[in-house]
Structure 1
Amino acid sequence: MSESITKEDLHEFGTMLLHNLHKAMKNSVAEQKKEDQPEWLKSKTVRKLMDMSPGSIQNLRITGRVRFKKVMGSYYYNRSDLLALFSTNT
């Protein structure tokens, strides 16, 4: 008995294959992001992640509540300090 493959079968297979590839790539990227998280975050990233104003992040810097580095005019903040600060204040 010979089975014939229709265009619909190929289309369904292609859709399933693309879905599985997309899912695998998404999982791979998520795992890589966990491993590749930088120790120091740029001000813009901190403000976006924490939903903070520029003044709020400046206040944390001035009061010494988080470690920071200034590199060529850009401020970078220590990830572990930020996590510790916001995990104790929640």
Structure 2
Amino acid sequence: MAATIITTEDLKEFKLELLEEIREMFNENRAMVMKKEWLKSTQVMDMLNISPGTLQKFRHNGTLAYTKIGGLIFYEAGQIEKMLSDNLVNNEKLK
């Protein structure tokens, strides 16, 4: 096998390339975190197959967080997914 010599200049170039790739990955992840999907009440009711009264109950008892702007109420999609996951019932435990 032939030996390969790595110079200081090679290491500097590698460092710069690595840092640039890390920056790109960080920026991509930040954009994904900052993007939130907001749903209107009707969308949430359709998604969960619930009535307006049930949705109101979820708001009032703190089961589901919401944002109100004027007369419109919005729900974060991630919070709905979290609520569903937190209330998941494992049938194996019931046996």
TM-score, normalised to structure 2, is 0.51
> C-alpha distance in 2, partners of 1:46/1:76?
9
Indicate if the aligned counterparts of 1:66 and 1:78 stay in contact, CA closer than 8 A. no
Q: Which residue of 2 aligns with 1:75?
A: 73
Superposition map of 1:35-46 within 5 A? 39-46=37-44
Deviations 1:22-55 (Å, cap 9, x if unpaired)?
xxxxxxxxxxxxx9x9521100000001101101
Q: 2:60 aligns with which of 49, 59, 62?
A: 62
Q: Which residue of 2 aligns with 1:20?
A: none
Q: Which runs of 5+ in 1 are unaligned?
A: 1-34
- Residue identity opposite 1:67 in structure 2: A
Superposition map of 1:1-90 within 5 A? 39-90=37-88
> C-alpha distance in 2, partners of 1:78/1:48?
15
Higher-Rg structure is 2
Task: Give the root-mean-square deviation of aligned CA atoms.
Answer: 1.9
Indicate if the aligned counterparts of 1:42 and 1:75 stay in contact, CA closer than 8 A. yes
> C-alpha distance in 2, partners of 1:62/1:81?
15
Runs of 4+ in 1 over 2 A off after TM superposition: none
Q: Which runs of 5+ in 2 are unaligned?
A: 1-31, 89-95
The total of aligned residue pairs comes to 55
